[in-house]
């Protein structure tokens, strides 16, 4: 359960954040939504897909972290081993409301404590550098949500989204099928007219589409991580 | 224009659909999706003769019918108050006891194409009903869950489904789609005369405004009036009320008690003293109706039974009474006229087969549309053979529900089991099923309306005992075990994954479903 409190220097002066993914239940997930502004960084680490939000059926850009349910293959000894952790994760346990730009902290999050980790406030009550960084992330997220939806709308408008089925067999001969994943329709890009290509290029959607396509290569890397894990557990 | 038509006379170029109920507009949509740009397709309906306005439960075939017409499923859900249907629940059909029910779900038993689970279940049911142990859909129904999530595209689902829909809104919806997107011409006028050529073919129809409408092919969708096939061409009506006794209907529309009342994702059919009551949940209301045999009860008693079912709000609802006639025309295609829908015949809506038969008939006409008048009789003959076969199978299947009942509390139920009322074809099948379970080999037609699985659901749902042979090999037994376990696994997963039916319908209205 989450228990959000509006962040205030008086109330949270002594609070520290100890990032340790071992005790972060939220991190046990096989996909995480990402923003179009972090596509390049995410694409260098994870296979990226479009996945539908089950609440409203809208597409979200997501990084795939594992194959089985609740499997995050990037977690290792409490660390998330990747060159970039998706913003919707690295902002934890903070949250910013979109309407009022108020910052909230989930005080029940296991990272929240009073002994270890990063401080939020300096002695004079100003934000500590760590917190300034978090707030930058929160602001990027607030702007990035709409940007990302706009990106997806452009893809849909040009009929560039198609479903893919992932069917991966691992070293132990077991296989995992993943449904509900969508990617960029390559043929769709070839079918675009010059004017459409131009438009897509100008909005940055074309680059985004290619990043998503290239990121599919990371499925192999992800399978490798899984096989490594299987070997360890044998 | 006229000269042009004359020059290669005999070509089928124009179709006039007479009647704008579900039959007329479904036929128009199915034909126009293929021929809208190359043929002249017109639908004429009377502004004065109302459509029957019932017929709100469909088959899963309606999904492909709508999809092929290019209908957005989201629009259809929103504009027709549509809801998901995952089967039928038959209550009180076997003994009449309060806890007496069984399901006829819309999915085949697990692994049905490779493994026949019926003999396995008959030998060891493990205390579970047939449909429960072979199919996970009953569990979804009992929990009032939807067959899909919002993330799944239109027309896709985790469990097979059909629809409940508002019949009036459905024809309005199809009218708009057919005229705006599929190039169907729409004429509002009442026909008061039909002119024939010397060879008996229909030449043209005459409206009350004295307009003449001619066509190469006429499709009679005039409902029970059967204006062209019955009235004009004089094709005989074959009465089936000696087999299926239902001849009257009484329908009401009941608002939900609250915004939270579950929308049941299945049709409930509850047996009564002299008939049965349907209960079909839409997003906006429930459609409830009593169909009964007037030879076994009175209208007053029938209304009382309906009132008891509906509850105290019954007194505020208006009751629509509809006389019905069990049976069908001797032929469905005569000369240049095909009857589709009630114009061809009607049987009690126990398995919601009427709309399905309309889709099937229209698809037949679409796929085998004669090129010329000279080939028309050959196609007509095939059509008649196919349709006669299907009507026969539907009659057998409906009668099966009555024959298997153990109720003897009223004359209606007892009379229904009287051997003289049971068609020979059904009697023969029942003899076969004493020792053999229905499976793929039993039905000959390539497009069988009720698959062997449906017979299994009804037979074993109603407690029929097939004496299966003990000659079973081990590998088959293992395959059965696996299938039953697999079904259980899927059931567990589906129960956690799938949303509440009402909730999903609300979301479809709010967000829509995407096409991919
Ligand atoms: C009680 C009951 C329950 C049912 N439940 C189901 C169910 O659950 N599922 C299912 O699949 N089916 C069901 N049906 C059957 C279903 O309602 C019909 O098959 C379906 O509605 C098709 O009707 P129709 O279009 O043939 O006729 P109608 O709806 O009667 O339409 C007739 C059309 O012909 C036109 N017309 C008539 N005379 C003239 C004229 N002289 N000039 C011009 N136009 C004319 C009318 O204007 C009208 O447009 C049920 C039927 C009944 C009676």
**Bridge partners (DSSP) listed for residue B249:** B291, B322
At B2 the pLDDT is 40
Beta carbons within 8 Å of B17's beta carbon, 6+ residues apart:
B24, B27, B28, B31, B41, B42, B43, B44, B219, B221
* Residue among B88, B70, B81, B59 at smallest CA distance from B34: B70
A196: closest CA of chain B, how far (Å) = 21
Query: Residue B259, Cβ neighbours under 10 Å: how many?
Result: 7
Question: What secondary structure does DSSP assign to B277-323, as a single string?
Answer: EEEEE-SS-EEEEEEE-TTTS-HHHHHHHHHHHH-GGGGGSPPEEEE
**Bridge partners (DSSP) listed for residue B479:** none
Ligand 1 centroid – CA B183 distance (Å): 23
The pLDDT of B277-290, averaged and rounded, is 98
The structure's pTM equals 0.90
Question: What is the pLDDT confidence band of residue B445, given thresholds at 50, 70 and 90?
Answer: low
Question: What is the pLDDT confidence band of residue B62, given thresholds at 50, 70 and 90?
Answer: very high
The pLDDT of A209-228, averaged and rounded, is 95
Ligand 1, atom 41, lies closest to the CA of B191
Angle between helices A205-215 and A194-203 (to 10 degrees): 80
CB contact under 8 A, A163 and B510: no
A196-203 long-range Cβ contacts below 8 angstroms, 24+ apart:
A196/A158, A200/A154, A200/A158, A203/A150, A203/A151, A203/A154
Instruction: Judge whether residue B394 has pLDDT over 60.
Output: yes
The pLDDT of B385-396, averaged and rounded, is 96
A225: closest CA of chain B, how far (Å) = 27
Report whether residue B289 contacts ligand 1, using a CB cutoff of 6 Å. Answer: yes
| Two tokens, residue B119 | 């003999």
Bridge-based pairing state of the strands B185-188 and B40-45:
parallel
Residue % of chain B over a pLDDT of 90: 91
**What does the alpha-carbon distance between residue B219 and residue B26 come to, in Å, rounded to a whole number?**
12
Over residues A22-56, the pLDDT tens digits come to 777 788 899 999 999 999 999 999 999 999 998 89
Question: CB of B132 within 8 A of CB of B139?
Answer: yes
Instruction: Judge whether residue A16 has pLDDT over 90.
Output: yes
ipTM greater than cut 0.90: no
What's the mean pLDDT when you consider all of chain A? 92
Instruction: Judge whether residue B5 has pLDDT over 50.
Output: no
CA dihedral B71, B73, B75, B78 (to 10 degrees): 140
Report whether residue B279 contacts ligand 1, using a CB cutoff of 6 Å. Answer: no
**What does the alpha-carbon distance between residue B21 and residue B222 come to, in Å, rounded to a whole number?**
8
The pLDDT of B339-344, averaged and rounded, is 98
Give every strand in the sheet of B333-334, ordered side by side.
Answer: B185-188, B40-45, B14-18, B217-220, B337-339, B333-334
Ligand 1 centroid – CA B23 distance (Å): 7
The pLDDT of B136-154, averaged and rounded, is 96
Question: What is the pLDDT confidence band of residue B440, given thresholds at 50, 70 and 90?
Answer: confident
At B448 the pLDDT is 84
* Residue among B250, B90, B225, B81 at smallest CA distance from B164: B81
At A1 the pLDDT is 66
At A98 the pLDDT is 75
> For chain B, which domains are there?
87-145+240-325+408-508 (3.50.50.60)
Report whether residue B324 contacts ligand 1, using a CB cutoff of 6 Å. Answer: yes
The pLDDT of B429-455, averaged and rounded, is 86
At B3 the pLDDT is 40
> Cα angle vertex B165, ends B161, B166, to 5°?
175
* Residue among A212, A233, A215, A221 at smallest CA distance from A168: A221
Bridge-based pairing state of the strands B286-292 and B275-281:
antiparallel
A170: closest CA of chain B, how far (Å) = 22
**Bridge partners (DSSP) listed for residue B268:** B89, B279
Ligand 1 centroid – CA B54 distance (Å): 7
**What does the alpha-carbon distance between residue B154 and residue B152 come to, in Å, rounded to a whole number?**
7
Interface test with A, best of B149, B151, B497, B515 (most A CBs within 10 A): B151
At B7 the pLDDT is 37
CB contact under 8 A, A180 and B151: yes
The pLDDT of A73-89, averaged and rounded, is 91
**What does the alpha-carbon distance between residue B502 and residue B237 come to, in Å, rounded to a whole number?**
42
B512 at the A interface (CB within 8 A)? yes
Which residue is it, tokens 């039959």? B23
**Bridge partners (DSSP) listed for residue B278:** B269, B289
At A100 the pLDDT is 76
| Two tokens, residue B140 | 């979804």
CB contact under 8 A, A52 and B514: yes
CB contact under 8 A, A54 and B516: no
**Bridge partners (DSSP) listed for residue B164:** B57, B83
Instruction: Judge whether residue B279 has pLDDT over 90.
Output: yes
Report whether residue B495 contacts ligand 1, using a CB cutoff of 6 Å. Answer: no
Side-chain half-sphere CA neighbours of B378 within 13 A = 8
Ligand 1 centroid – CA B281 distance (Å): 20
* Chain A residues within 8 angstroms (CB to CB) of chain B: 51-59, 156, 161-163, 180, 182
Which of the listed residues B204, B276, B349 should we mutate to test ligand 1's pocket, taking the one with most ligand atoms within 8 A of CB? B349
In this structure, of A164-173, B62-71, B331-340, the range with the lowest mean pLDDT score is: A164-173
């Amino acid at each position: 359960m989450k228990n959000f409190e509006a962040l205030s220097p008086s109330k949270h002066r002594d609070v520290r954040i100890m990032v340790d993914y071992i005790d972060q239940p939220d991190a046990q997930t096989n996909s995480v939504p990402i923003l179009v502004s972090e596509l390049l960084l995410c694409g260098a680490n994870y296979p990226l897909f479009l996945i539908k939000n089950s609440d409203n059926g809208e597409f979200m850009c997501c990084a795939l972290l594992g194959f089985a349910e609740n499997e995050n293959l990037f977690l290792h000894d409490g660390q998330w081993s990747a060159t970039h952790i998706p913003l919707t994760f690295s902002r934890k346990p903070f949250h910013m409301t979109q309407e009022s730009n108020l910052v909230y902290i989930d005080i029940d999050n296991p990272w929240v404590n009073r002994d270890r980790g990063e401080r939020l406030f300096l002695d004079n009550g100003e934000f500590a550098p760590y917190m300034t960084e978090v707030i930058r992330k929160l602001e990027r997220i607030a702007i990035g949500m709409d940007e990302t939806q706009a990106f997806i709308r452009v893809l849909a408008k040009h009929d560039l989204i198609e479903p893919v089925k992932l069917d991966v067999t691992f070293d132990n001969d077991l296989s995992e099928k993943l449904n509900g994943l969508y990617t960029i329709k390559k043929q769709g890009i070839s079918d675009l007219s010059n004017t459409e290509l131009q438009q897509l290029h100008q909005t940055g959607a074309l680059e985004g589409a290619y990043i998503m396509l290239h990121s599919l290569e990371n499925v192999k890397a992800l399978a490798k991580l899984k096989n490594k894990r299987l070997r360890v557990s044998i | 224009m006229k000269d042009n038509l004359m020059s290669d006379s005999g070509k089928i170029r124009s179709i006039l659909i007479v009647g704008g109920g579900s039959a007329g507009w479904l036929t128009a949509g199915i034909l126009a999706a293929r021929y809208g740009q190359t043929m002249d397709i017109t639908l004429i309906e009377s502004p004065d003769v109302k459509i029957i306005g019932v017929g709100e439960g469909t088959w899963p075939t309606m999904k492909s019918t709508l999809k092929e017409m290019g209908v957005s499923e989201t629009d259809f859900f929103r504009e027709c108050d549509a809801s998901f249907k995952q089967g039928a629940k038959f209550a009180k059909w076997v003994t009449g006891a309060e806890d007496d029910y069984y399901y006829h779900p819309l999915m085949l038993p697990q692994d049905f194409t490779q493994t026949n689970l019926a003999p396995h279940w008959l030998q060891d049911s493990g205390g579970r009903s047939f449909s429960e142990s072979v199919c996970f859909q009953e569990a979804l129904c009992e929990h009032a869950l939807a067959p899909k999530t919002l993330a799944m595209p239109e027309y896709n689902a985790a469990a097979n489904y059909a629809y409940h829909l508002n019949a009036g809104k459905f024809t309005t919806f199809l009218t708009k789609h057919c005229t705006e997107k599929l190039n169907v011409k729409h004429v509002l006028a009442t026909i008061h005369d039909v002119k024939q050529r010397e060879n008996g073919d229909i030449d043209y129809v005459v409206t009350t405004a004295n307009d003449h409408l001619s066509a190469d092919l006429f499709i009679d969708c005039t409902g029970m009036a059967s204006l062209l096939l019955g009235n004009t061409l004089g094709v005989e009506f074959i009465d089936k009320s000696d087999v299926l006794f239902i001849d009257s209907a009484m329908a009401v529309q009941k608002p939900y008690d609250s915004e939270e009342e579950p929308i049941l994702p299945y049709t409930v059919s509850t047996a009564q003293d002299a008939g049965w009551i349907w209960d079909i949940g839409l997003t906006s209301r429930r459609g409830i109706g009593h169909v009964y045999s007037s030879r076994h009860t009175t209208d007053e008693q029938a209304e009382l039974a309906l009132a008891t079912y509906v509850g105290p709000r019954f007194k505020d609802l208006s009751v629509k009474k509809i006389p019905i006639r069990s049976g069908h025309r001797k032929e469905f295609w005569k000369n240049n006229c095909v009857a589709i829908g009630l114009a061809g015949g009607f049987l009690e809506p126990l398995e919601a087969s009427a709309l399905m038969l309309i889709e099937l008939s229209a698809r037949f006409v679409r796929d085998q549309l004669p090129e010329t008048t000279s080939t028309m009789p050959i196609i007509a003959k095939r059509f008649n053979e196919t349709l006669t076969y299907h009507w026969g199978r539907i009659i057998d299947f409906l009668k099966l529900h009555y024959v298997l009942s153990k109720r003897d509390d009223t004359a209606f139920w007892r009379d229904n089991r009287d051997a003289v009322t049971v068609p020979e074809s059904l009697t023969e099948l029942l003899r076969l099923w004493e020792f053999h379970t229905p499976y793929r080999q039993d039905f000959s037609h390539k497009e069988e309306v009720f698959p062997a699985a449906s017979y299994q659901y009804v037979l074993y749902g109603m407690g029929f005992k097939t004496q299966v042979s003990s000659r079973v090999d081990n590998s088959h037994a293992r395959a059965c075990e696996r299938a039953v376990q697999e079904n259980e696994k899927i059931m567990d997963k589906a129960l956690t994954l799938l949303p509440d039916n009402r909730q999903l319908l609300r979301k479809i209205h709010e967000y829509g479903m995407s096409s991919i």
